[in-house]
Structure 1
Amino acid sequence: MKTAGLIFLFIAISFMNSCNTPQDAQGLLENPELRGELMNHMAANDTYMMEFMDKLQDSEHGMQMMMGNQRMMDHMMGGEGMQRMMQDSTRMNRMMSAMMSDPEMMGAMMQMMHGKGMLSEDCMHTGMQMMEGSGKGMMEDNQ
């Protein structure tokens, strides 16, 4: 009787473990309600949000998406955001590299900086001319 009980227990545990199939990330993200809940939790947690921002900044596509978002760029350019970014040479070089691969974005950034008084008219025109050329001169001069 003991042996039968142990065998039954082993089968029951094996069955229960087989029911715990891991969810794949893509499957979870395809559910709009679950995706929204996940984003809300990430946005409310400082650690998760910092990890997410680091991932975005490490991704060329993520950087292009952030720089293409006018609301985000206005927020980053206002206050101390630009000064903080300029003090972090790695982050600044990463952002410049991403912008250099997208001349339209770089032009928009230069115009925004000119509009906020951070870039003179001459500097903006020089930058635009460099973008029309090879586009590599700006990064080489800054390094």
Structure 2
Amino acid sequence: MKKLDNKLIIGIGNNTRKDDGLGWYFLDILKDEGFNTENLLYKYQLMVEDAELVSNYNTVIFVDACKTDLEDGYEIERIYPSEQVAFSTHEVPPNQILNLCETIYHKNPKSYIVKIQGYKWDFEIGLSQEAKSNLTKAVQEFTRNYS
């Protein structure tokens, strides 16, 4: 088993909406490659309550699909707590979760976001071919440099 030590990987998405499931498929691949499952978390969306969970880890990696054109089809970047917090009933971005983690629990885990470019967002299970290619590249980069 490949141990993730004190790292939490959060896959965000919905596998019934084609490429919106990229975050979950990322975690599926890590499981298949033998990473310990207790450090992998599947989420439809982030909620303010996730700040407490995040505070228990040294490193947190958020993985999500994005609609933005990315040069390599994916991007891994370091993220930091947001300066200001504004809430929506639909979504709380990762940097706002980090802000709450720092403000409430006085913890600031090293954090990254893995953005994977998606193309199709219809109600259907499975990824587009282009998204599968981007996913493969993102997982390879992650396992090479971040696991």
User: Fold conserved (TM > 0.5)?
Assistant: no
The structure that is helix-richer by fraction is 1
- TM tier, shorter chain? under 0.3
Larger radius of gyration: 1
Higher relative contact order (CA 8 A, sep 6+): 2
Higher strand share: 2
TM-score (norm 2): 0.22
TM-score, normalised relative to structure 1: 0.22
